[in-house]
Structure 1
Amino acid sequence: MDSTLNKATLKNIIFDLGDVIIPIDLTAPMRNFAVLANLSEDEVVAIWKQHNILGQYETGLIDDNAFRDHVREVLKNSTGASDRWADEVIDTAWNTVLLDIPVERLERIKELKLNYRVFLLSNTSAIHIRHVNQMLIKLNQPTLETLFERVFYSYEVQLMKPSPEIYQHVLNEAGLTAEETAFLDDNAANIQAAAELGIQAIHVQPPKTILDYLENI
């Protein structure tokens, strides 16, 4: 596991989404839900972890409506205000994790498609993916499903990184050989798990971006 690629064998590139293609602010939804629920941010984070809301939603154990209902229930305060949160209010707060998409990263992926098979592998939720695609359309860019040969979302395959099973699923489904495949992710545990399967795993760390790591291929 290092920051260099074996260009001689490289045929496939798998991208993470958050903080690899699109910058994210993981604390933003917690801040917004704290304001909505009249709770402290620390209280919201504790409740979130206690109920494993993210894990259930991002592995497809609960759907969009169940997620929203769960959020309303667990963040209910003494005034009962959360009962009145519309779906759109919850979705908007949830989507504040997603920041502006750097178009130059999208353009680089389009260039790479000319010589490599490119894929997306993300721990994510349906609400986020719909919002990202809306953002892309507004930028006159292709949706994720069009940009990549195939997309693999945790909530659809019901597996999450860094589980080795999710990487093996991608390799099997796309017909990829690990040694011919690069994987770029911002999470060290995700990178380590991929590297242990023989994938060329690249840990994307600021201030570098995928433009730096993929500059010379």
Structure 2
Amino acid sequence: MLHNLIFDLGDVIIPIDLTAPIRNFATLANLPEAEVETIWQQYDFINHYETGILDDEGFRSHIRQLLKNDAWADEVIDTAWNTILLDLPVERIERIKELKQHYRIFLLSNTSPIHIRRVNEVLTAMGQPRLDELFERVFYSYEVRIAKPSPEIYQHVLSEAGLVAEETAFFDDNAANIRAAAELGIRAVQVQPPKTILDYLNENL
């Protein structure tokens, strides 16, 4: 019997474009996209940001330093960084609200504070609850200081929320994250286009 549902955020609840920040920072810095992508790969600052090693200001400082522009305001960096987030389909939020009547609902995301603030702004503008109101508990990599697919982050969620792995389903778009969860006995479902999370919920619940 399933009693608990854990959702990823990016490309499960909200569609994302991983290349959009690279394009936008390249435009801002007047650099080729390939050069910015190389910088992203060479320096591990995004992973450090998403695991809480860097705070917001540290993240922005790294961007200014690596792209050699000290004049960018915080808002300029945040806006470019948030271009990864595409339009949020309201029907997905409504479905999660329906599921709360029958399951314990959780969010587990490798993410950053800038992204979470923006998603909450969008939800509020839509007249929807914030993420921490929509879900019973939210688990963000930057707060837990561990990122998927590390087994420790799944064990943390199970322990903190008092969940039994075999009674829990996890929906994520990343194959490595799915494998790691499945190895702990969680019913892990990979969300892959052209299907959406709504399709997988209909098939599995």
Q: If the TM-score is normalised by the length of the shorter chain, which range does it land in?
A: over 0.9
Structure 2 gap ranges (5+): none
The aligned counterpart of 1:114 is: 101
1:103 is displaced (CA, Å) by 0.4
User: Quick one: percent identity of the two aligned structures?
Assistant: 73
Q: What is the TM-score normalised by the length of structure 1?
A: 0.93
Which residue is 2:159 aligned to?
Answer: 172
CA–CA separation in structure 1 for the residues paired with 2:74 and 2:201:
39
**Per-residue CA shift, 1:81-130, capped at 9, x if unaligned?**
x1110000000000000001000000000010000000000000000000
Structure showing greater relative contact order (alpha-carbon pairs closer than 8 Å, 6 or more residues apart)? 1
Query: 2:194 aligns to what SS in structure 1?
Result: coil
Partner residue, 2:41: 49
Find the residue that maps to 1:121 and give its secondary structure. Answer: strand
Matching of residue 199 in structure 1 with residue 191 in structure 2: no
Q: For residue 23 of structure 2, what is the aligned residue in structure 1?
A: 31
Match of 1:20 in 2: 12
Distance 2:152 2:92 in 1: 28
The answer on 1:40 being equivalent to 2:27 is: no
CA shift at 1:38, angstroms? 1.3
SS of the aligned residue for 2:128 comes to coil
* Superposed structure 1 runs of 4+ greater than 3 Å apart: none
Partner residue, 1:156: 143
Partner of residue 184 from structure 1, selected from 148, 166, 171: 171
Q: CA deviation at 1:63?
A: 0.2
Contact map agreement 2:45 2:54 (CA 8 A) in 1: no
1:65 matched residue in structure 2 = 57
Partner of 1:88: 75
Q: Give the TM-score, by structure 2 length.
A: 0.98
Give the aligned length.
Answer: 204
User: Structure 1 residue 146: deviation in Å?
Assistant: 0.1
SS at match of 1:184: strand
Task: In structure 1, list runs of 5 or more residues that go unmatched.
Answer: 1-8, 77-81
